[in-house]
Structure 1
């Protein structure tokens, strides 16, 4: 699920940049948010590569990216949420995926990635 979600995010950000260029996120008045969303073009695929390689760093990076992404989306869109709370539906997918990523980060690190690179026990010989 991590790979699918981050690939979808990477594709969305690449398409935004292809369509509108470096100013794709000019609707956000805060320059740090604009820079962050453009930076997701690099961060999202990096997460995918690290998760596919079953690296613990990929799982933690995924969590950090999603916490920042959810915060940036809520902060950057707070004005229209105050105007019409029904717009909350637009932030639901990124928020739910962020909760999913963070909720499963610790279990994944210690069950899947925690065993990566460890030699398997030798089979008993007869």
Structure 2
């Protein structure tokens, strides 16, 4: 459920950014690849929500990759301002919650993959016994 909420919130945040700023919503970020990645999250985040909601192993793997890249891109992009003012890490939105969610996703990845493997094993019905 935390995956769905986190990636759902990410979807809303990136859609909101694009509605406000258009295709150049991330123009302030230093690298074109990071800007393109943030735009792609409008598709990747909801894809993770759907796949994890369907308890697909691919959703768990995709979620781990997406959040790892998201956290890295945010730290790269925001490092100069954090270096200048470390108190920015105390804000309720931004790097700290993204980083904590990323850690949660990565720490829970293996247990979720194991659970998804167990859940995907067909249970014999009484008729087949």
Match of 2:117 among 109, 114, 117: 114
Question: What is aligned with 1:94?
Answer: 98
Offset of 1:29 from its aligned partner? 1.9
Separation in 2 of the partners of 1:59 and 1:115?
14
Give deviations 1:27-48, integer Å, cap 9, x for gaps.
1021111001000000000001
Q: State whether residues 70 and 98 of structure 1, in contact with CA within 8 Å, keep that contact through their aligned partners in structure 2.
A: yes
Any runs of at least 4 consecutive aligned residues in structure 1 with deviations exceeding 6 A, and if so which? none
Question: What is aligned with 2:19?
Answer: 18
Q: State whether residues 9 and 44 of structure 1, in contact with CA within 8 Å, keep that contact through their aligned partners in structure 2.
A: yes
Offset of 1:124 from its aligned partner? 8.7
How many residues are paired up?
124
Question: What is aligned with 2:73?
Answer: 72
Separation in 2 of the partners of 1:119 and 1:78?
48
Aligned residue for 1:29, secondary structure, equals coil
Q: State whether residues 7 and 48 of structure 1, in contact with CA within 8 Å, keep that contact through their aligned partners in structure 2.
A: yes
Aligned positions of 1:21-36 closer than 5 A: 21-36=22-37
Calculate the TM-score normalised by the size of structure 1.
0.93
Structure 1: runs of 5 or more not aligned: none
